[in-house]
Amino acid sequence: MTSPSANVKLVSNAMANSTRRKIMAMLVERDRTQEEIEKEVGATMLDYHLQMLQQAGLAEIDDGVFSLTDFGKNFMETKSAQKPEESMKDLSKTKPLQILEIRQLLPCIADESKFRIIARLEPPLEGALKLMEPLFPRARYSEKIGALIIQKGNILITFYSTGNVTMTMIKSEEEARETLEDMKRTINEAIVKGVTPVPREKIKVDHAEIYEYLPKTNCQICGEQSCYAFAIKLVGRETTLDKCTPLLEAKYATNLEHIRTLLEYL
Ligand code: SF4
């Protein structure tokens, strides 16, 4: 069996599907033949589902009988130990979203050729918003403002629990609509499944990416020779973001959010 640490992505993929989760729950009870599993979950893509579980190192087959591997048993035990939290992550009571309105506001302070957009989605996601964080590769939930902040290229999208959404650095209303439709689809897919999204994959963030959002004035207020040197130290955790006080200026507000989102992945 592959080591558990090497399996993070395979396990995430395997457990992202409700049929496979059901199979895993059945195997927790007892070992089963393929026919027994088929009776419970149906024959559709069953070979594929079983193969995914085996590839992830969660289940194995011996003489026609499927059982959990040691890793699979540990995984399911850890999951059940987290049960109170898991039940909070149930999205079954959340209704799919609709886009009610998209409005263009003032140009962005950081780049006047781009716009700031405000949109309204219904129904408001309220407490379920926090659960959406793992759905997007670069997202963080801010307890302070009760909002989910998602980074998509240069665009920063902030979903509020009230249903309001703001988007910065947008080229056109069309781009805003496409981006929002895309996100709405992702969220609604999770809502239709009614389950918590699987933990997201760790994303590699390097200093060059952080540097892109720094003021690039090399003012040295942070105590470093240049913004580039500051970015390197930031990634190496040898300094902290608050040392770059110019980033607190209004014109860098979007940049600051981008960097904060990226730092979540270090
Ligand atoms: S304070 Fe900020 S803008 Fe100034 S050099 Fe440091 S990182 Fe660059």
DSSP code of residue 89: T
Answer whether 121 contacts ligand 1 (Cβ < 6 A).
no
pLDDT at residue 126 tops 50? yes
Give the CATH superfamily of 207-263. Electron transport complex subunit B, putative Fe-S cluster (1.10.15.40)
pLDDT digits (tens, 9 = 90+) for 216-263: 999 999 999 999 999 999 888 889 999 999 999 988 887 887 888 777
Single-letter amino acid, residue 234: L
The span from the CA of 202 to the CA of 208, in Å, is: 18
pLDDT at residue 12 tops 80? no
SS3 191: helix
> pTM of the full predicted structure?
0.52
Residue of 51, 58, 49 whose CA lies nearest to 77: 58
Domains of the chain, by residue range, sit at: 4-81, 98-193, 207-263
The answer for residues whose C-beta is within 8 angstroms of residue 26's C-beta and 6 or more apart is 32, 37, 40, 41
Mutate to test the pocket of ligand 1, among 207, 213, 216, 218 (most ligand atoms within 8 A of CB): 218
Give the CATH superfamily of 98-193. TATA-Binding Protein (3.30.310.10)
CATH architecture designation of domain 4-81: Orthogonal Bundle (1.10)
pLDDT digits (tens, 9 = 90+) for 202-218: 556 778 888 988 999 99
pLDDT digits (tens, 9 = 90+) for 44-54: 788 888 988 88
Q: Do domains 4-81 and 98-193 have the same CATH topology?
A: no
Residue of 237, 232, 186, 187 whose CA lies nearest to 210: 232
Which pLDDT band, with edges at 50, 70 and 90, does 31 fall under?
Answer: very high
Contact 152, 178 (CB under 8 A): no
The CA 226 to ligand 1 mean position distance, Å, reads 6
